[in-house]
């Protein structure tokens, strides 16, 4: 009571202004206190945001560190695996030979034959003899590989009786017995085949084609028959009697003890049909050769040898190819089929020994003679040679018993040239309307007129066709005409030239498509002009060879050609009309 009363007494005694001031100060303090919490809350919120931002950065940094640690761990693991792999012993390879009853396998590796175990991951039944296998450090089979693809090339001589081994010849002519790998199962092996040999294991894996020999022979029947050859009926009759009859009627030849000819030489000027006759022989034998019981075979072989390509600069290579060719022929003939071995340009291979500075013929000629006369007979094999320089062939090749039959293929005469030209002008040939109108649309008559005009022009022996003046050593004089240098190839080329004139005339819009007599005569004139240019020679012996003439030695040759158009001022008679050329 006393205190309260004292305070009231003090209050009542205090000045009101002082009380107001004091109260205002208290109010300010209270206001400041009220304002401080929101400001502190804002600071706290800002601090929280800042801390959250820092936390996010720290989290990202932690993730990056964790990723770096994982990558480092992966690298360490990979490096460890690489170190372990590099520290492993090397794996070896071997050649599988055969499997055994106890599940082991025999292999050849490092020059040794071993019996090893097989990993369960390898199917032993699927391994084949000669297959390559992978070996671990204990020399056990852990994987199956492919067959060997590299090695030496050897030549097969014969298959041994067990059928699993073969006798082969190496590049130095050494003989070796090898094992036939299972990769050759089903392959038709013949003597002379080139085989791939793995020399360490002694296994042969595949047949390697000998491209140098395959390119030289045409092991098929040509599509040429006698009907396509004109002007050589007499020569065709001779060769058919000598070559076809022994195969068409072998029993008759056996009854009279007559041996078929071993070989035929076709000789004469170039371009006269020697190669075509050889091809026609093969085609005819394919159609008419018979088996023992008379059943038609309808099969033969034609080995066409490109003489110059057979030559090789390395010693013994040409002879080796000749041996391979006759091995091929004997293989085909052993099946009872007629085989023709055709040597074109025969003088390039079997030139007379001692007549040139080269020693090639000193080995190739004996090789051919050994193949023809050797202990291995040439039954059902006919050797045909073609040459326009028969004087250069070694006489030992031409003697009877080797090339028994010699047939000269001469340049065609008037009748033969007409027959050849008619082979190349078919009845369905498009004919120029002018030529057809002259014969009332008769195509056969128009073609016959073209043939007559062309052959008369080529074979006319008047002053316009004089080509050479030849004098012999006995002072005799002879005039050679262009017909003395014609051949079947010349006549074929005339037809080709004429057809080219026909096409160019049509394309230039100078007339319809169709062959005319004027085209043929223009082509003949151009062909004669080319003969003038290409056969210009000052050597009398060359003229004798080109013309195909033999006999008195030529001492002097003078060309009588007058260069320029030989048709100038001439006209062609087509039917009842004349056309200027």
Cβ–Cβ < 8 Å for 119, 141: yes
Query: Count H helices, E strands: the chain?
Result: 17, 20
* Phi, psi of 551, rounded to the nearest 5 degrees: 130, -125
Q: Using DSSP, state whether 442 is helix, strand or coil.
A: coil
Q: What is the distance, to the nearest Å, from the Cα of residue 445 to the centroid of all Cα atoms in its chain?
A: 46
> Which helix H or strand E contains 48, and what residues bound it?
helix 16-87
273: left (phi over 0), alpha (psi -120 to 50) or beta: left
Do the annotations mark residue 274 as ligand-binding? yes
- Measured distance CA(104)–CA(98) in Å, rounded: 9
Listed residue (154, 158, 145) closest to 189, CA to CA: 158
Cβ–Cβ < 8 Å for 293, 267: no
Do the annotations mark residue 9 as ligand-binding? no
- Measured distance CA(234)–CA(241) in Å, rounded: 11
- Measured distance CA(55)–CA(218) in Å, rounded: 89
Q: Token digits for 41?
A: 């809350």
The answer to whether the Cα torsion of 446, 447, 448, 450 is positive or negative is: positive
Q: Could you tell me how many residues make up the chain?
A: 581
Listed residue (339, 112, 319, 109) closest to 217, CA to CA: 339
Q: Which amino acids are annotated as binding site for ATP, given as ranges?
A: 271-276
Q: Which amino acids are annotated as binding site, given as ranges?
A: 271-276
């Amino acid at each position: 009571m006393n205190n309260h009363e004292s305070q009231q007494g003090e209050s009542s005694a205090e000045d009101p202004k002082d009380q107001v001031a004091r109260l205002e100060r208290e109010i300010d303090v209270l206001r400041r206190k009220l304002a401080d919490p929101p400001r502190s809350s804002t600071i706290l919120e800002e601090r929280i945001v800042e801390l959250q931002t820092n936390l996010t950065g720290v989290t990202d940094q932690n993730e990056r560190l964790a990723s770096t640690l994982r990558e480092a761990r992966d690298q360490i693991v990979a490096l460890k695996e690489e170190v372990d792999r590099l520290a492993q012993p090397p794996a070896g390879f071997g050649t599988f030979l055969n499997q055994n009853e106890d599940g082991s396998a025999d292999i050849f590796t490092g020059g040794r034959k071993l019996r090893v175990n097989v990993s369960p991951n390898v199917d032993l039944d699927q391994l084949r003899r000669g297959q390559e296998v992978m070996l671990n450090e204990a020399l056990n089979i852990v994987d199956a590989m492919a067959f060997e693809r590299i090695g030496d090339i050897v030549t097969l001589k014969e298959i041994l009786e067990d059928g699993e081994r073969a006798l082969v010849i190496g590049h130095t002519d050494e003989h070796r017995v090898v094992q036939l790998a299972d990769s050759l199962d089903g392959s038709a092996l013949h003597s002379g085949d080139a085989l791939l040999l793995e020399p360490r294991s002694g296994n042969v894996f595949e047949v390697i084609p000998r491209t140098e020999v395959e390119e030289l022979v045409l092991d098929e029947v040509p599509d040429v028959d006698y009907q396509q050859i004109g002007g050589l009926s007499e020569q065709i009759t001779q060769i058919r009697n000598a070559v076809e009859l022994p195969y068409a009627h072998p029993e008759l030849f056996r009854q009279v003890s007559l041996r078929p000819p071993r070989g035929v030489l076709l000789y004469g000027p170039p371009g006269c049909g020697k190669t075509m006759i050889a091809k026609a022989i093969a085609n005819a034998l394919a159609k008419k050769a018979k088996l023992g019981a008379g059943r038609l075979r309808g099969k033969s072989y034609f080995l066409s040898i490109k003489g110059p390509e057979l030559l090789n600069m390395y010693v013994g290579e040409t002879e080796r190819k000749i041996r391979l060719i006759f091995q091929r022929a004997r293989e085909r003939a052993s099946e009872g089929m007629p085989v023709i071995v055709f040597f074109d340009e025969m003088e390039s291979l079997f030139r007379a020994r001692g007549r040139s500075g080269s020693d090639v013929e000193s080995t190739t000629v004996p090789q051919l003679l050994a193949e023809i006369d050797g202990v291995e007979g040439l039954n059902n094999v006919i050797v045909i040679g073609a040459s326009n320089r028969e004087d250069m062939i070694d006489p030992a090749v031409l003697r009877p018993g080797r090339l028994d039959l010699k047939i000269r293929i001469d340049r065609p005469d008037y009748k033969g040239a007409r027959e050849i030209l008619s082979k190349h002008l078919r009845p369905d040939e498009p004919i120029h309307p002018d030529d057809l109108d002259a014969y009332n649309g008769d195509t056969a008559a128009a073609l016959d007129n073209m043939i007559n005009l062309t052959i008369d022009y080529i074979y006319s022996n008047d002053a316009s066709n004089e080509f050479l003046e030849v004098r012999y050593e006995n002072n005799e004089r002879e005039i050679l005409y262009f017909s003395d240098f014609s051949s079947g190839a010349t006549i074929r080329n005339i037809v080709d030239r004429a057809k080219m004139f026909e096409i160019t005339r049509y394309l230039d819009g100078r007339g319809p498509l169709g062959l005319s007599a004027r085209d043929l005569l223009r082509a003949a004139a151009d062909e004669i002009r080319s003969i003038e240019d290409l056969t210009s020679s000052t050597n009398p012996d060359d003229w004798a060879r080109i013309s195909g003439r033999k006999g008195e030695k030529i001492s002097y040759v003078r060309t009588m050609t007058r260069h320029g158009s030989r048709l100038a001022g001439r006209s062609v008679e087509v039917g009842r009309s004349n056309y200027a050329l």
